[in-house]
Every structure is written in structure tokens, then in C-alpha cells.
Structure 1
Amino acid sequence: LIPTTTRSRNGGASSTIAMVVATWLFLGGVRHSRTLLGKAGLGFLGLGTLLGSLYALQRIVFVTVQLASGTSYPALENLLSTTLKQATVLSVAVGVCLPPLSVAVEYVAAWSTLRKLRPLWVQLTEAAPYVVLATSVGRWRVRFRLERCVIEVEDACLALREYVSVDMHTKARRFVRQEGVAAQLSDAVAEACWLRAAVQSARNGERLQGVEYPPLGVTGRDRASELSWLRTVARAYLSSPVVSEFVRQEHSSISHEQGASERISSNDN
């Protein structure tokens, strides 16, 4: 039979190698995780396996010392073993819990963003209903519903560009600056201005042809920036007094021009 101490030392060496490999895999996966909680979870799992390898290593050291010199240090060994085991279990437990928590956080964030974009979606798709996809989506599929909402909002913006010219976009940006809107919000508020004007023109069927259309501010953004931009535009579209005043002035200007044109036509006749 193999002596117990020899088997213990061999088992400890195997455990140490396994823990080191696991630590390398977990910590190497941190940079590939796309969420902060996912990175933290893998980091804690890596820390747990690292502590586990230290536990196995200290067992090997104490067994080797006892075999070589016949001396043992039971108090120190017990202290190190208990501390490392508790720290290992705690780190692994935290690491296992964080990835599911990350999924829950993503779900709540998607639901919150969808709730904020939904009113803008209603306004834009009423003016351009043909961009709405016919297939229904279950209410519990929040992330899929958010993707669909974003796509339909952006498609509606593309369609509504045909009701305003780039001059309207320029006027909106100038008006927003004159009203003292913060620089980091000015582009989004200007976007909301011409979108509100375009929705009004679409309801009147006033499609423009032969003009340059305004650019979309959402173009060329990454996912996080895209959602942040749309939330800001939605908030300005629905509640900004600057947007309401711009649309009111534009409506008054258009009505005045149409009245003047009618008077000129009457005089000509």
C-alpha cells in the first residue's frame, strides 16, 4: 500500500495543478466578458481557484516538512487551512452568483430603456405606420422587443426625413443654441425639433422632393451610444419646451407663408 502521506502529497500536487489551470482560464476569460458583473464574476472565480491552489500548496509544504524533519506545526497549519478554505468558498460563491445577477441587471436595463423609448415609438410610427413589423412579440421577450423598437424608431426617422429639408435641421440647431441648451444635449434636442416638425408635416401629407434631407444623429454609433442617444431624443421630443416652441414657430411661419401665397394668388386673379 502507498503510505497516506505520499498519497496526500500526490493528491495535493494534482489539485494544485488543476486549480492553477482553472485560475488561468477564469482570469483569461475576464477580458472576453461583455458585462461588468460578468467580468467581476469570472474574477472572483479566478480568485477562488487561486486561493484553492494556495490551500493545496500549503498542504504539500506541511506534509513535506513533516516527512523531511519529523516536525509538525498543527496550530499554524490549521489556521492557514481554515482561512484559505473559507476565503476560497466565499470567492467561488460570489463568482457563481454574479453572472446570473448580470442577466437580471441587463433585463431590467432593457425594460427601462424600452419604457422610455415606447412613447417616441408611438409618435413616430403613427406618422409612418408602414415601418412597423407585422409579427407580434411576447411581452416577456423584453430584449427582443427593445431591438425591434429601436429598429422601427430608426426606420421611422428615415421615412420622416422626406418631409423636411436639411435647412430645417440647420434652423433647429441654431434655435437650440439660441435657447441656451447645454452643448452635450443640443444635437439630440435639435433632432427632436425636426422630428416633431416632420411628424406634423407627415400628418398633413406634405412630402418634399428634390431637396437634401437632414442627417440622422444615430448613424455610426455603437450600441451603448445609440441607446443613450435615442433616450435623450425621446425625452426632448416628449417634454422639452424648446422643441414645442420650435414646432410652434415653424407652424406659424408655414401658415403665414401659405396665407401670403393665397393673397398673392387672389390679387393676380
Structure 2
Amino acid sequence: MNGVLTGVLLTLLWGTVLVRFPTLWRDAQQRAIWATLCTLAVAKTTATPAVNALLRDVVSQPQVIPHLIGVATAFFLLRFISLVTAYYSARPRAARYQVLLAVGVWLILLTLIVITPGGIKTKGIELMGTPTAASAAAYWVTLNGYLGAVLAIASVLFWRVSRSAPAGLLRNGLRAITVGTLIMATYAALKTTLIVLHACGVTIGVESIEPAANGLRAAGTILAVVGAAVPATGKIRSVLRAYRALWALRPLWRAMRRTFPEIILFSRRRALVELAAVDDVNLRLYRRVIEIRDGMLALRDYLPADALDNARTFLSTPATTSRPLSSSNGASSAADVALVEACGIALALERHRAGIPAPTSGRWSDTSRSAGRGFQPPNKRTSTDKRSSTDAGTPAHERVPADRRTSTHERAPTDKRAPAHERAPTHDRIPADERTSTHLRIPADRRASTHERTLTDKEAPTHERTPTHERTPTHERTPTHERTPTDKRAPADERALTDEVAWLSAVSAAFRRREPRRFARHATRRDASSPPDQHADQ
């Protein structure tokens, strides 16, 4: 059973070390936690019988090598705790003292190893079956005292952090680390106590206790390693999604890069460095979307005004494609609209290579999305003739910008608005200089929503509200990150990027099909055979 646990533990340790290797380029905290996991993996590997037997040809007492490496593991864990709690900022010399403490523990252990007759015994049967020398007992007290103290400090810290961490993977991971380090600290304290009692002459049988104790220690280590890896799973999924999106956009991006090399913003970074932080991968994805859009913008000069309509007609004919569009004039699916867009891109690229600009530039499909509604093909959106007639006769430069208009569902119906003669006279309104300054108003994203406000907040007079000295102090209120969010949707810019990536990925997938190239050749032959006057009229 212990062999299985050891195999699982080593697999988790080295897997986590490899996954977190790119984080070395991020900050000191990530380097400290990576060094902790790496030294722990080396210590557990050297403790296996096979590796320990190989080291016997190099050193006289290979059984103590995992202990010395374990001291380094505890040092890096203590350094990580100090960085997380900003302990070094409050006490700048603490880092130096920690190094001196670790070096001192090493020197003491090496000295005790040399002076102990017969060497240090590590197996429970050997320790309890023979009298324990005072130097051997001091060795175990020093080793387990240092390791147990660091593990106890880590348990307390991770528990405190987990209480204020947001619910989910992060909180569960921190609590798993807390339980795992607490188990290992308990194991170190129990083992030290038994060794000291045996050195004092108390006979203790450990034949049946040792396997269970070793299994408990391995389980605690596995729990701590899994807890350390859990928070990183969200980042790994984000990285994988970003790389999958980059791969999906690659066909369309390569076509734009070959046609317009100047649109490439920056040279591509190494994939290993990009894996070090999710932001780097998302930045590359964001750059790729911008580069594709810049290429499409440059291609508009080569896109005829009727190109997309002609592509839709071409794709609706069974004789020209194996899979005609679902409807030529009705609602089309997202894949059909993406295929029409891909046909327009192929035609614009062909005309660009031939150096034939369009007489009248066309426009690409409108890919704006309504928040929370997902993708909406252009022919499903509200047409111009169905929009409010208010803007119909207003010049474009006099209209209110779209981002400053009141949402449709928030406007009062026209028939319920007060007539002009019933509204408050202009001279009774609050003068502009007496209104609340804009910079003093509560931002919209921090105001309480209408359904969350109480009657006191809206209608109670000032003298009936709770006095300031009776309100809950700020430090006793529920932390912001523990409150239930009223809107769990992603930020608008993140949703916009996700929608744009989904749309361009669909266009890129359609661009790889045969229909766009067929349409480009068909449209080119048709334009070549058209009379010059007819071509000019288009």
C-alpha cells in the first residue's frame, strides 16, 4: 500500500513541478513555491529504496540525504509564507535570519551524523529495536523540531487565508494544504516523542504502527500537493482555451499575415514563456484578433459592395456546393453566415493579389452581440427600417452616441410621459451649479441595485435613519470578496473578446473549406466577362 502511495506522490510532485516551471519568470512568491515543490520531489525520490541504494556507492549514509533536502524544503516553504504575509517588508532582516537558521540546522545535523556511533537509523524497527544514543535522539529532535515548526506555521497561515478566500477551487485548495501540512506536522511531533521516550528507556513496539504512520504521512503530503495544484487548474484551463483559440484562428491569420505583413504587431514569443502567465497567452490571442481585423479592414477596398449577397446566392445553389445554405432569404445559422463571410474574404484576397480594387467598397458582417444573448447573425438583428423613427430624420452628427443612450427597457413609454405643460418649469429646477458634482457621485457599478435597496435607503428622512455611531463598523462588515455577487457575468470587454474569437474562429474554419475558393474564382471570371460599363455601374 505504501508503495502505491509513494508512486502516486512522486507522480503528483514531479507533474506539479513541471507544470509550474514557467512560473519561475513571474515573481518571488512563485519561485519560492516552485522551489518548495521541487526540493520536496527530490527528497521523496532519494528516499525510495532503489535510488537510495544507488547513492550508497557515493556516500556512506545515503539514508540521511532526504532529511538534509527536507530542511531546504522547509526553508523555501518558510520563505513563501514570509512573502505572502509581507513579513519581509515589516522585518527586512528576517530573510537573513531564516537563511542562518537553515544553515545552522544543517550544520547541527551534519555534526550529529558524524558523532553518532553506527550512523543514523531511519527505520522504526531499527530505532526502537536497539538503544538510541543521545546524539541520535538530538538529531531527530533537531530535524523534526525544525520541520514541524515550519509545517505548523504553514497550517495556521493557510487556514487563515482560506477563511477569507473566495469560495471555490482556491478555498478548497488552501484547506487541503492546511490539512496536509497539519498531518505532516503531527507525524513529526509524534515520531519525535516516541524517539525521546525510547531514548529515556521506555520500550515501545512500532512494528504495527510504522506502516500506518508512513501511510498517513504520505497521504498528508499528497493532500498538500493536490491543494497546491488545485488553484492552478483554472489557469491551465484558461491557457488551453487560449491555445485552442489561437489554433482555430491560425488559417485566417496566416492568410492575413501573408497578404499584409505590416499588420503583425509583435514577434511571437516562446510558448514556454507565454505559459508562465495567463495574461501573456491572452495577450497573444488579443493581438491575433486585432491583426485579423486589421487585415479585413485593409481588404475592404477590394470587397465589392454586393460580394456578400452574391456569395449567399452562390452558396444557396445546389449545383455549386455540396451543402447549400439552410435558407437563401430567411434566418441563417451562424455557420452559414461565417461561410458567407469567408467567401467574401477569399474574393477580396483574390482581387488584392490581382491588384483590382472594388469600384464601391463593401462592408463585412456586423458581429456585435447583445449582452447575454450569444451570437446573432446579421439577418436576425433589427433592421434599419424597424428602428425608432426618432433617429430617422436626425442628422448623424446630431444624434446621441449609442453608448450614451438610455437602454430601451429603461425608457418610459411615450404615452406615459408627462406632457410638456405638466413638467416642472425650468426656473423651478435645481440649478446646474447646485447639483452634485460628477466626481462626487457614487459610480454606477457601486450603487445598490433597485431590488436590493431598502425602504430606508430610498424614502426614509434623514432624521429617521440609523445614526452613524450605531452602524456596523467597517472592519466588522462582510469582506467584499465574500459577498454574493449580484451579476456573475464576465466583464463586458471579456465577453466581447470571447464573442469576437468565437466569430472569427467560425470564419476561419469556413475559410478552410472549398466553397470560398470556388466562389472567388467564379466571381473573378464573372467580373472579367462583364462589360466595362456594367462593371463601372456596380
Distance 1:89 1:227, change over 3 A: same
Distance 1:126 1:145, change over 3 A: same
Structure 1 regions of 5+ residues with no counterpart?
A: 1-16, 31-38, 53-84, 263-269
Distance 2:292 2:268 in 1: 16
* CA displacement, residues 125-182 of structure 1 (integer Å, 9 cap, x when unaligned): 323333223x433223542433322221111011112211342122323444551368
Q: TM-score, normalising length from structure 2? A: 0.33
* Aligned-residue identity in percent: 24
Instruction: Indicate which of 123, 145, 152 corresponds to 2:255.
Output: 123
CA contact 2:304–2:360 (8 Å) conserved in 1: no
* CA displacement, residues 45-81 of structure 1 (integer Å, 9 cap, x when unaligned): 357779x9xxxxxxxxxxxxxxxxxxxxxxxxxxxxx
Q: How many Å apart are 1:201 and its aligned residue?
A: 1.0
Distance 1:209 1:43 in 2: 62
Distance 1:216 1:139, change over 3 A: farther
Distance 1:243 1:104 in 2: 35
Instruction: Indicate which of 357, 360, 377 corresponds to 1:207.
Output: 357
**Counterpart mapping for 1:172-211 below 5 A:** 172-178=311-317, 179-180=324-325, 183-208=333-358, 210-211=360-361
Secondary structure of 2:524's match? Answer: helix
Is 1:247 matched with 2:520?
yes
Distance 2:157 2:219 in 1: 18
Distance 1:230 1:210, change over 3 A: closer
Q: What count of residue pairs does the alignment treat as equivalent?
A: 215
Structure 2 regions of 5+ residues with no counterpart?
A: 1-155, 182-216, 275-280, 318-323, 327-331, 370-492
Instruction: Indicate which of 270, 289, 294 corresponds to 1:150.
Output: 289
Distance 2:172 2:312 in 1: 46
Secondary structure of 2:530's match? Answer: helix
CA contact 2:162–2:171 (8 Å) conserved in 1: no
CA contact 1:191–1:217 (8 Å) conserved in 2: no
Q: Aligned letter for 2:232? A: P
Partner of 1:65: none
**Counterpart mapping for 1:93-112 below 5 A:** 93-112=225-244
CA contact 2:173–2:231 (8 Å) conserved in 1: no
Secondary structure of 2:306's match? Answer: helix
Q: TM-score, normalising length from structure 1? A: 0.59
CA contact 1:117–1:234 (8 Å) conserved in 2: yes
Q: How many Å apart are 1:91 and its aligned residue?
A: 6.2
Q: Aligned letter for 1:230? A: L
Distance 1:260 1:212, change over 3 A: closer
Is 1:163 matched with 2:302?
yes
Distance 1:218 1:129, change over 3 A: farther
Q: Name the Cα RMSD after superposition.
A: 4.3
